[in-house]
Amino acid sequence: MQSTNFIWDLFGVNLLTVVAVVALPLGFVLIYALVAILAELKISAWIQERLGPMRTGPYGILQPVAEVIKLLQKEDITPDASSKLLYNLAPFIIFSGAYAAFAVIPFSSAFMPANINVGLFYVFAIGSISAMGIVMGGWASSNKYSLMGAMRSVSQLISYEIPAAMAVLSIVVLSSSMNMQEISHAQTGYFWDWYLFGGPGSWTKVFIIPFTITLAIAYFIASLAETNRVPFDIPEGESELVAGFHTEYGGIKFAMFYFAEYANMFVVSAIFTTIFLGGWNSPFGEFLQGPGWGVMWFILKSFSIVFVQIWVRWTLPRFRVDQLMYLGWKVLLPVSFICFFAISLFVMFK
């Protein structure tokens, strides 16, 4: 198997290159978050027949920068009644959880920060840390709204993790690997070789195409719940819980929550891209295929998923907490389990 990290190929493994490998995704997250915030503002404006921000820079493209600067200027408040340590730690835990997942995201065939052979497991384990941060923040704020938001977040976590894991496991069965780089390599070819359309293989894969597409939808729904976005922004639930778990947060700590939300959006989109949309592969065979173009394809595909998330957010109303649990346990779980079963049978008798 070829190397998965061009920096280490070129400069060897030493302290400087390790820092560079860590800094690259961090820089990407920061720039991406600014772009995504602008996209959110602008897309919501277009959906609602508004202009969106227009004053900060041409067509308002500097609006996210202005927002971040504004948040940095705010006074750093810690409520008297809060548990100081947990309260101050929570935003950083959430952000590190979201950021740590970038370690195993294959941006290109020549760049994946950490080549872990249980990458998908790692993503799920790390992803749950953000929920822990939410509970910490909600509990430590000593605010009843925050507490309710935190409790909702826990009940939400157990409802969406299992169907999402089932969807991912089915692809693991198909590709017989948990390494995200290898899953990407397996889908090289044309777009009908993506796991969304049953993956590479002979014509017999038509039997599993309905199942893989169902799984993709199930995973997408679960990923919306994971990122706490409409229609599943129940822990925030602004109409009843004011701002949910981050009601008491302001300034830089709120900015951390903000960044973490967008980073999380990208993580779930990147996983979706990798396991269903062929990762960094070109959809058209050798057309613009390669490590450099791979970055372009990967970001393009992930951004389309981020776009759909934004689109959904500004279109749908919010679910109620018990309805999310119903959806998770009684709809998504059986459906994804049936798909998992069918795909396993297919792999057995192929």
Partner 1 sequence: MSEKKKIDIEYSQLDSERMRINVGPQHPSTHGVLRLEVEVDGEIVTDVVPHLGYLHRSFEKHCEYMTYPQIIPYIDRMDYISAMNNEWPYVMALEKMLDVKVPEKVEYLRVIVAELNRIANHQIAVATFGLDAGAFTPFLFYFRDREYIIWILEKLSGARLLYNYFRVGGVAGDVYPTFKEECHDVIAKVRKTNAEVMNLLIHNNIFIKRTAGVGILTPDVAINYGCSGPVLRGSGMAHDLRRDEPYSIYDRFDFDIPVGKGEVGVVGDCWNRNMVRMHEMEQSCRIIEQALEQMPMEGDVTAAIPKRIKLPKGEIYSRAENPKGELGFYIVSNGTDKPERLKARGPSFVNLSVIPEISKGYMFADLILILGSIDIVLGEVDR
The residues binding partner 1 (CB under 8 A) are 44, 47-50, 144-145, 148, 151-152, 230-231, 233, 237-240, 242, 314-323
Report the residue number, 145 or 346, with the smaller CB distance to partner 1: 145
Minimum distance, C-beta of residue 320 to partner 1, in the bound complex (Å) = 5
* Rounded (10°) angle between helices 251-276 and 15-47: 90
Per residue, the 3-state secondary structure of the chain, as one string, reads CCCCEHHHHHHCCCHHHHHHHHHHHHHHHHHHHHHHHHHHHHHHHHHCCCCCCCCCCHHHCCHHHHHHHHHHHCCCCCCCCCCHHHHHHHHHHHHHHHHHHHHHCCCECCECCCCCCCHHHHHHHHHHHHHHHHHHHHHHCCCHHHHHHHHHHHHHHHHHHHHHHHHHHHHHHHHCCCCHHHHHHHCCCEHHHCHHHCCCCCHHHHHCHHHHHHHHHHHHHHHHHHCCCCCCCCCCCHHHHCCHHHCCCCHHHHHHHHHHHHHHHHHHHHHHHHHHCCCCCCCECCCCCCHHHHHHHHHHHHHHHHHHHHHHHCCCCCCCHHHHHHHHHHHHHHHHHHHHHHHHHHHHHC
Closest distance to partner 1 from the beta carbon of 231 (Å):
6
Q: Which of 256, 222, 245 is nearest to 97 (CA)?
A: 256
Choose between 205 and 318: whose C-beta lies nearer to partner 1: 318
Shortest approach of partner 1 to residue 48 CB, angstroms?
Answer: 4
Pick 84 or 350: Cβ nearer partner 1: 84
Q: Rank residues 3 and 323 by Cβ distance to partner 1 and give the closer one.
A: 323
Tokens in use for 323?
A: 């309805």
C-beta closer to partner 1: residue 112 or 148? 148
CB 152, min distance to partner 1, A: 8
CB of 168 or CB of 221, closer to partner 1 = 221
Q: How far is the CB of 196 from partner 1 (least distance, A)?
A: 24
Minimum CB separation of residue 52 from partner 1 in Å reads 12
Smallest distance, partner 1 to C-beta of residue 242, A: 6
Nearer to partner 1, 117 or 323 (CB): 323
Looking at beta carbons only, is 22 or 86 nearer to partner 1?
86
User: Cα–Cα distance between 85 and 100 in angstroms, integer?
Assistant: 22
Q: How far apart are CA 267 and CA 227, in angstroms?
A: 9
Q: How far is the CB of 232 from partner 1 (least distance, A)?
A: 10
Asked if residue 310 lies in contact with residue 44, where contact means CB atoms within 8 angstroms, the answer is yes
Beta carbon of residue 153, minimum distance to partner 1 (angstroms, whole number):
13
Nearer to partner 1, 265 or 310 (CB): 310
Q: Is 109 exposed, middle or buried (0-12, 13-18, 19+ CB in 10 A)?
A: buried
